[in-house]
Structure 1
Amino acid sequence: MASANTHTYRTDLVWTGNLGSGTSGYRAYERAHEVSAPGVPVLLGSSDPAFRGDASRWNPELLLLASLSQCHMLSYLHVCAVGGVTVTGYTDQATGTMVQTPDGGGHFTEAVLHPVVEVADAAMAEKAVALHADAHRLCFIAGSVNFPVRHDPTVTHPYAL
């Protein structure tokens, strides 16, 4: 029997890049694919353009970075709501660094989130910055990766100059 604290997720993946001869050669196929899950729109994917991918589609590296950014934001909004900090705006321009290894593999060496948070009152700014650490600790995705996820937050308020 599953615990109430155990959550299972399912996605479906379909490769759509067979140009007629499958993977008969490195250049003989597209990296195009579709990712779906029950009840959500299809996500069009490919590989990074550096690996013959389509730049107009999501690649796994971007999705990983987006997952880290989303998870941090959701955890952050939670800790602010319960911690008495009223957030009125939130944006992030996350960056990530991946290094290729000589065998053709690779790994992320870090991700840096750059959240810009607007709070309702200037008196909340200091606590708003501090709560990023709590959000990081609670973020499911950051807790699942084996590379550092850093934060470079900016906090503003409506009357900030």
Structure 2
Amino acid sequence: MAKEHRYEATVTWTGNQGTGTSGYKAYGRDHEITAPGKPPIPGSSDPAFRGDPARYNPEDMLVASLSACHMLWYLHLCSRDGIRVTAYDDRATGVMAEDAGGSGGGRFTSVTLSPQVTIAAGDPDHARALHAEAHRLCFIANSVNFPVEVRPRITLAG
């Protein structure tokens, strides 16, 4: 039997400006995301949908989840294979398309991860190849129905 892991999060809407959802412009999109024992994350909708640009939106969080999952697998694989990573930075980007006709729906069509990795020890070609294995193992990438492309760049320290 496969091992299962369970996760819990609470999303609490904090955007009631006095009249609830009495109209599209009458309520804020602000919310707070919490999980047991962790600090809260301020959330909102994308500014294109009347959200607060200073808060994380679900689309930001999806792109960040893909990036973080890939990074964590990659670091694990590097440590296993004797590649010493000293820096990792990914400027991940996602593309979401709204449905035609203004129905309000939409979907992500792609995410591109662009990890910039600095290594102090190990073979740069092997370090680059491990990105494919990290992508194959990433729980989040295995859970989405759109392509996730990985474009790594490896730099030797010093």
Please report the TM-score for the alignment, with normalisation by the length of structure 1. 0.94
Q: 2:130: which partner in 1?
A: 131
The unaligned stretches of length 5 or more in structure 2 are: none
Q: 1:150: which partner in 2?
A: 149
Q: 1:75: which partner in 2?
A: 73
Cα distance per residue 1:68-87 (max 9 Å; x no partner): 00000000001111122111
Distance 1:45 1:158 in 2: 37
Distance 2:52 2:98 in 1: 19
- Of residues 31, 34, 38, the one that matches 2:32 is 34
Please report the TM-score for the alignment, with normalisation by the length of structure 2. 0.95
AA matched with 1:10: E
Distance 1:33 1:4 in 2: 35
Find out whether 1:108 has 2:145 as its counterpart: no
- Matched residue of 1:29: which SS? coil
- CA RMSD of the aligned region, Å? 1.1
The unaligned stretches of length 5 or more in structure 1 are: none
- Matched residue of 2:39: which SS? coil
- Matched residue of 1:38: which SS? coil
Shift of 1:4: 7.3
Q: Give percent identity, aligned residues only.
A: 56
- Of residues 76, 80, 86, the one that matches 1:88 is 86
Cα distance per residue 1:132-157 (max 9 Å; x no partner): 00000111100101001001100001
